[in-house]
Amino acid sequence: MHEFPLIAPRPPRLSKLTEALRSIEARGVYSNGGPVVREFESRAVAELFGGQGAALAVNNATIGLILAIRQAAEGRRGKYALIPSFTFAATAHAAIWAGLTPILIDSAPTDWAASAEAEEAMLARHAGEIAVLVPYDTFGTCTDLARYARLSEQHGVGVVVDGAASLGSIDAAGRGFGTGAPFAAVFSMHATKTFATAEGGLIYSADAERIDALRRMHNFGFGLPRSATEPGTNAKLPEVLGLLALAKLDEIDAVAEHRAALDRAYRACLGDAVTLQATSAVRQVAQFMPMLLPRGIDRAAVIAELAGKGIGSGHYFAPHLAQQPYFQRESLLYPTPVADDLAARMLSLPVTDAMTEADVATVCGALHAALRKPHIVVPAPQPRILSTVLVGGGPAGIAFLISASKRGKLRELGAGLAVIERGPSLGAGQLPNYAITSDSTAETFLSAVKDNPEPGIAALIDHPAAREIARYAGKLGVPLHRTGPFLEAMGQRVGAILAESGGRVHTGHEVLDSRRTAAGLWQTRIRDLASGAQHELLSENIVLATGGYQSASDIAAATVAGAQLGEQAGERLMLCDDMLRTGGMERLRARIAHSRAPRIAIIGASTSAIASAVLLLKSDIPFGAESLSLLHREALRPWYPNAEAAHADGFTDFGPDDICPLSGFVYRLAGFRLEARELVLRMLRIGGRTPDPRVRLHRLAGPDSNAARILAEADVIVAALGYRPHALPLLDAAGQRIALAAHAPGRPRLADQLCRVSDAEGQPLPGAYGIGLAAGFVPEGRLGGEKSFKGKANGLWQWQNDVGQLIVDQLLGQAVSLAA
């Protein structure tokens, strides 16, 4: 039986290079950029890159990547390297060794290179934070380098091309891949590559000064004789390996042409049986023949079938980087549905120097036979009744799951759970889209993972995104736009545990409605936002973590100072949610552009109201004395850790009903914290503090001519009058919509004190629960909280602990735990 190994290294034979070896021995120069290596560099530029630019030979491509990434990041303030997850481990390792944190993104479904859409999205999301783009030229397809030159110019980022398998490829313009690129392209000369030596790498750039800088770095950073002037290491290619590289250069055209012919034979023979990679290369220096198996095929069985006929095969790159434990810990992860699919279906078949086109036909025949075997088809999973469908995988939904993990119940809960999330990933939701500071401390965010019983979640305490949150420990909250990577890392880890436990995660899906069946189940219709396809999930329970919103019509109808707010404000009315989001200040500035001395009125006594004031005061808007007015009905109350601390600070406006009997906190639920608290303390002159002269407080009480005057004089009126719950359409068995408490006017509650979704009569709906912003839960009894509190309690810590646990216990059929 003829054997066809997947990889059959064929570097030049040293035994045929004895005269050249004797010359090296005679010269006595074995490294340090000797004449053989210098000749190889010069000839490589002339023969592979049309004589443009310069090249540097290094001892291996991974070290070359480290040098090139470090050099490209010099002088840039970013801390991230943007890398496709579908690549080899060396790419991300190199970024980490160069001092950057990888951001792993998805691939394009055609050529399997980094997704242009994902790159653009990350450059926008992490504007100013990305130092270097590291695209991988997947299997030598000659990716579009002109686009990366444009991205570099537009976004001020460095670029390093990982062209590990591409040395000798010819692009669509008929040039060697990389020719003319102003950034570095790094190629491998490992024995397994088409440009096979024993070990080594080549860095090319059209920018000769860049290569000069890298040459200094690869020689200990010696910019002066025997004196380091910049970062450096020892990355020099020895003369003996340079000799192999020169010999391979002599034969690379013949080797590449032969492999290109094998590639064409594979494509002609396989037809539509598999999915082949799109390529823009005129000549692709194939290391092996990559392809995607049809969905539902058992790849392990195919590989076994081929092995039984002496045919080697593999699956580069499966698992991809985001599926590997180390990079899960050390990188920022974003959804990779295409890379997941590539890794699940990838099969690599032999392309070697010794093969013939007849051999390709033999291999293809064996693959066709393996694909026809019925036993390798994986049956579609049978529908099952889930325990729970969680609608919403944002901060509240993941906090609910974190509460389960803290009690060691996440896997038990996850075995019958499906999570439906509109966004592309779990964890962050809309939170990073706000331009304000959190009203939860950094310590609260980190408490979700610190000492978590789930090792994978606990390990996130050392994740780069967690270290970013920890920078704000002991400070007045965390900028919300900084929380996204941490929340998404947590969502990714929780989602992985759910999948391991038998649960399902449906990102990029929306829930249309959920119907109560005659059998007492919930039949939930979901839709794939990308394809529009719909299907249904049956579950015993549903949990709504759908967040809240501000109703423009409700706010316009609210009575303020004896008249409807909409009638008084007209087009000057602005919802605080619109102002607090990213870009909100720009929208507000456009409204006041006509005014040299702008006046703004904020209506409300909520955290959002005070956050609006803080954001405005921190801006560069030229507010004059008392030009920012805060109109509020409720008294403004600061939080204190205990009564003694309040009295010591000179705050006495509280009584026994304002103290939480469990914690001893003064105004535990009603009190402002962090940045909002600091402003309130100043405005109330507590402890001798001096008010900000730009702000005035006005307490509303019925018809109020002063309030009406303030509103009439304001250029913009910011309404911070609370949030309504997003109430998912819930239907009865007859298909009629159930009237919910959440549909009532004003600021209604979604759920009762056991987090059960309530109908319009206040009766709980069996198996329906709610958590999160505007859900309306108010701690009481053994959960603590001051007796005087009448509003809604919304807090990350509560969701991650007792409030979430209330739901978990009910879902698992256990007695409700009210331990705080």
Helix, strand, or coil (residue 494): helix
pTM beyond 0.85: the answer is no
> For 220-288, where are the E strands, in sequence order?
222-224, 227-228, 275-276
pLDDT, position 779: 79
User: Does the domain formed by 254-376 have CATH 3.40.50.1010?
Assistant: no
Q: Confirm whether 254-376 and 552-636+672-722 share one CATH topology.
A: no
Tokens at 611, concatenated: 């956050």
Tokens at 246, concatenated: 């020169």
N-to-C CA span, the chain = 70
pLDDT, position 609: 95
Return the number of other C-beta atoms located less than 10 Å from residue 294's C-beta: 12
Distance CA 803, CA 398 (A): 13
Amino acid at 414: G
Residues, the chain: 820
pLDDT, position 383: 53
Spatial contact of 775 and 806, defined as CB atoms under 8 Å apart:
no
Phi-psi region of 290 (alpha: psi -120 to 50; beta: other; left: phi over 0): beta
User: Does the domain formed by 399-548+726-811 have CATH 1.10.3470?
Assistant: no
pLDDT, position 375: 54
pLDDT, position 790: 81
How far, CA to CA in Å, does 283 sit from each of 263, 286, 437, 443, 786?
Answer: 10, 9, 53, 55, 74
- Output b/e per residue, 629-638; b: 16+ Cβ within 10 A: bbbbeeebbb
Strand 227-228 relative to strand 222-224: parallel, antiparallel, unpaired? antiparallel
Fold of 45-253: Aspartate Aminotransferase; domain 2 (3.40.640)
pLDDT, position 817: 47
Distance CA 211, CA 233 (A): 15
Distance CA 669, CA 167 (A): 64
How far, CA to CA in Å, does 42 sit from each of 25, 47, 55, 266, 361?
Answer: 22, 9, 7, 35, 40
User: Low-confidence residues of the chain, pLDDT below 70?
Assistant: 1, 375-383, 814-820
What are the residue ranges spanned by the domains of the chain? 45-253, 254-376, 399-548+726-811, 552-636+672-722
Burial of 87 per CB tally in 10 Å (0-12, 13-18, 19+): buried
Distance CA 368, CA 274 (A): 10
Tokens at 791, concatenated: 């509003």
Tokens at 563, concatenated: 């008249």
Distance CA 493, CA 457 (A): 6
How far, CA to CA in Å, does 576 sit from each of 553, 697, 769?
Answer: 14, 18, 28
Helix, strand, or coil (residue 539): strand
Helix, strand, or coil (residue 535): strand
Burial of 811 per CB tally in 10 Å (0-12, 13-18, 19+): buried
Residue entry with tokens 């009910």: 810
For 233-276, what is each residue's pLDDT tens digit? 999 999 999 999 999 999 999 999 999 999 999 999 998 899 99
pLDDT, position 330: 87
Top CATH class of 552-636+672-722 equals alpha beta
